[in-house]
Amino acid sequence: MSRVVAVLAVVSLLLAGCVSRQDVSGAQQAPETVPLSDLAGLTLQVGDQKGGTESLLRAAGALDGLPYQIAFSTFTSGPPQIEAATAGKIDFAITGNTPPIFGAASGAKVKVVAAYDGGGNGDQVLVHQDSPITSIADLRGKRIAVGKGSSAHGHILAQLKNAGLTPDDVTLIFLQPADALPAFTQRQADAWAIWDPYTAQTAAQVPVRSIGQARDVTNGYWFGVASDQALADPKRNTALADLLVRFEKAARWAQEHPDQWATSYAQAVGLSPEVARVSQGRSLRLPTELDDQVVASEQKIADLFAESGQIASPAPDFNKWVDRRYNDALRPLLIATN
């Protein structure tokens, strides 16, 4: 009964248009909203990676009765999603913890509007099983494949710092996952910093060992990122609020039905059932509070990027790229806790 009450409370907030916005100065504003019944002609453009967002929403039935349309676009990683949102090509996407930092550093026209705790267990640094490398410290002078601006980029920087190394002590080879896999398997890179489901997929295909995982050195957050253009539009703002609640309910369904979700995910994105189970068993994105603690943890990563020379110094004030207008509507259905 309590869950029903919570859901009804969320729906009431959405229909009443009571979602508030916090601008970069910290002042509260009330963005315009419209009744959900006015969204019939709207198509929300949503970016996706490896089918994770769309397949979860569909498997959970969270797209049933949608009062607007959604067009999903697939991207290889988070940075291209930030670029697409800035260019107005997509309205929303869920990315890892680092793409929004690169976006902030480049003045991207986006805001972080929701947070998800992925745990960081599936974001790993892989080496070949027969490699003499046994620790992050052993990476000195080695070649590391990593997606520039991805969560893995932030992860490897944190690992290097903890081991007393800097990017100058290694060779970072910036490659997207599709190019990094063959480079790694052909020994053109000594290590690969990568995230799920690629981590689980690689481990199933190639004899590898993990010498580090993100949960030990950085946050494991993912973020819902919306374009400034969408946030300023009453209809898209209303649709985004509705979509975020639907994703929360879908994540709860996946958490409560892990086998059913893994089977559906495997079929949707072309993975083996075992890879899907491993990946989603440790990297399911659980909705969490977009609060000061989460923002502070992101600022630490931004500071690390600036300190290591990977972005211009000083680091951007990450809070200026955060919009908490949906917090009140999302809070009743949160799963993860900080």
Evaluate if residue 11 carries a pLDDT over 70. Answer: no
277 and 325 belong to one structural domain: yes
Looking at the 3D structure of the chain, how many domains does it have?
2
The two three-digit tokens of residue 97, written as one number: 């913890």
Evaluate if residue 109 carries a pLDDT over 90. Answer: yes
The percentage of the chain sitting over the pLDDT mark of 70, rounded to a whole number, equals: 90
243 and 208 belong to one structural domain: no
The chain-wide mean pLDDT, for the chain, equals 91
pLDDT at 27: 33
pLDDT at 217: 95
8 A C-beta contact, residue 68 and residue 40? yes
Residue pLDDT, tens place only, 170-224: 999 999 999 999 999 999 999 999 999 999 999 999 999 999 999 999 999 999 9
Q: DSSP alpha helices (H): ranges in the chain?
A: 2-16, 52-59, 78-86, 99-105, 151-162, 177-185, 198-205, 228-232, 234-256, 258-269, 273-283, 292-307, 327-330
Q: What is the band of 32 on the pLDDT scale with cuts at 50, 70, 90?
A: confident
97 and 224 belong to one structural domain: yes
DSSP of 200-263? HHHHHHS-EEEEEEGGGTS--EEEEEEEHHHHHSHHHHHHHHHHHHHHHHHHHHHHH-HHHHHH
The two three-digit tokens of residue 262, written as one number: 């893994």
pLDDT at 174: 98
8 A C-beta contact, residue 142 and residue 193? no
Residue 338 domain flag:
no
204 and 238 belong to one structural domain: no
Mean pLDDT across 131-145: 98
Which region among 18-22, 161-165, 185-189, 233-237 has the lowest average model confidence (pLDDT)? Answer: 18-22
**End residue of a domain, out of 163, 197, 216:** 216
pTM: 0.88
Residue-range definition of the domain harbouring residue 192? 124-216
Residue 5's SS3 state is: helix
9 and 94 belong to one structural domain: yes
Q: What is the band of 2 on the pLDDT scale with cuts at 50, 70, 90?
A: very low
274 and 246 belong to one structural domain: yes
pLDDT at 31: 76
Residue pLDDT, tens place only, 290-308: 999 999 999 999 999 999 9
Mean pLDDT across 269-279: 95
Residue pLDDT, tens place only, 139-148: 999 999 999 9
pLDDT at 335: 81
**End residue of a domain, out of 183, 216, 249:** 216
247 and 171 belong to one structural domain: no
Q: How far apart are CA 96 and CA 225, in angstroms?
A: 10
251 and 327 belong to one structural domain: yes
6 and 110 belong to one structural domain: yes
Q: Is the model more confident about 8 or about 180? A: 180
**End residue of a domain, out of 170, 200, 216:** 216
Kind plus residue range of the DSSP H or E element containing 328: helix 327-330
Residue pLDDT, tens place only, 57-105: 999 999 999 999 999 999 999 999 999 999 999 999 999 999 999 999 9
Task: Tell me phi and psi for residue 98, to 5 degrees.
Answer: -95, -40
Residue pLDDT, tens place only, 35-46: 999 999 999 999
The domain that contains 266 carries what CATH number? 3.40.190.10
